Structure 1
């Protein structure tokens, strides 16, 4: 199987056709997750074969948004099976779907590959890019609920950030400190500091 060929087909048929109101769950986010997952996989010393499966899971993890934001992970598994069913063994397909499902909130990864993709998906929470990516998600949520206020968003973010935990050693060590600073920043916005 040629990953670039699959990627181009998924971009053309799905990711480039996602509605413009998906300001967070879009092609740029998918590319970000693919990049971060490969970065973490190298650090975690993942085999070439598993890195390929991780790349596929990253590619498909939000494709379900083309049909429905709710249960998009399950839908994404179905889409992945349509695209990859002939090329992957049932065991490989189960691994890919397991990784896609590991991005479902609340995250509950059960193995190394699932921990990597879960962290790749939310890695930005502990980075300088937190405000920008969070702002994109806020705009997306406002599309579905126009009365969603900045106050409500910050309250939601704070709850989410305080419950969130990283799963890989790298993110625990290198992203958790900045995530704590981002929590403090949200608390300041809510006048809780």
Structure 2
């Protein structure tokens, strides 16, 4: 696996994302990669190949936005199947990467796969962080740019629903982020009721 080449490829490609992907931009991918690494450390993932597959999946998880908004996970998998064989990824490794990417589809479904749980938690790590509000506002902007959000009340309702239904999968994410997420949920409910 030439992970460095795969990462360089993704970084180059993501320069071509739509400028209206205010949330799902390169900055989000880099954040997910960093959070996946941090969670893998804390969750005791030491196997080099497992970590490489997780890292590659984190880089590729939103590459589907290069071609589509709906169904971007499948498009990201198609891209992985297209380019990773030339970078010395075996078919079984590419399948595993695609399983991780598909687990991040909403609603998240990582099953019993520890790596998929880590990637799902990394993808939505911000829900429990102090920078939740500015990051969630970029998602609002992105949805508004696509006429997918009528007004601020609908947005607040969506936030409450999403935060209520979301769950963290790993012990580490629960310890690090659950309390913060619950605080954001309480604030969102209060705003909706005011």
d(CA) in 2 for partners of 1:153, 1:113? 31
Answer whether contact 1:40 1:116 (CA < 8 A) is retained: yes
Offset of residue 148 of structure 1: 2.2
Deviations 1:100-149 (A, max 9, x none): 00110000102000000000000110110110110000000001117621
Deviation at 1:3, TM superposition (A): 2.4
Within 5 Å, give how 1:1-193 maps onto structure 2.
1-12=1-12, 14-46=13-45, 47-86=47-86, 87-110=88-111, 111-145=113-147, 148-191=150-193
CA distance in 2, matches of 1:103, 1:132: 22
8 Å contact kept, 2:58–2:119: yes
Distance 1:48 1:187, change over 3 A: same
Alpha carbons 1:141, 1:148 under 8 Å: kept: no
> After TM superposition, which residue ranges in structure 1, 4 or more long, deviate above 4 angstroms?
none
Counterpart contact for 1:124–1:133, Cα < 8 Å: yes
- Count of aligned positions: 191
Structure 1 window deviating more from structure 2 (142-151 vs 27-36): it is 142-151
| TM-aligned CA distance change 1:36 to 1:147, over 3 Å | closer
Q: TM-score, normalised by structure 1?
A: 0.95
Give the direction of change, closer, same or farther, for the CA distance of 1:104–1:146 in structure 2 (3 Å limit): closer
| Structure 2: stretches of 5+ with no match in the other structure | none
Q: What SS does the corresponding residue of 1:85 show, helix, strand or coil?
A: helix
Unpaired runs of at least 5, structure 1: none
Contact 1:24/1:133, CA 8 A, preserved across alignment: yes
- Per the TM alignment, residue 85 of structure 1 is displaced from its structure 2 partner at its CA by 2.0
Q: Against the structure 1 CA distance between its residues 158 and 43, is the aligned structure 2 distance closer, same or farther, given a 3 Å change threshold?
A: same
Q: For 1:4 and 1:151, how far apart are their aligned partners in 2? A: 44
In structure 2, C-alpha distance between the alignment counterparts of 1:180 and 1:158, rounded to whole Å: 10
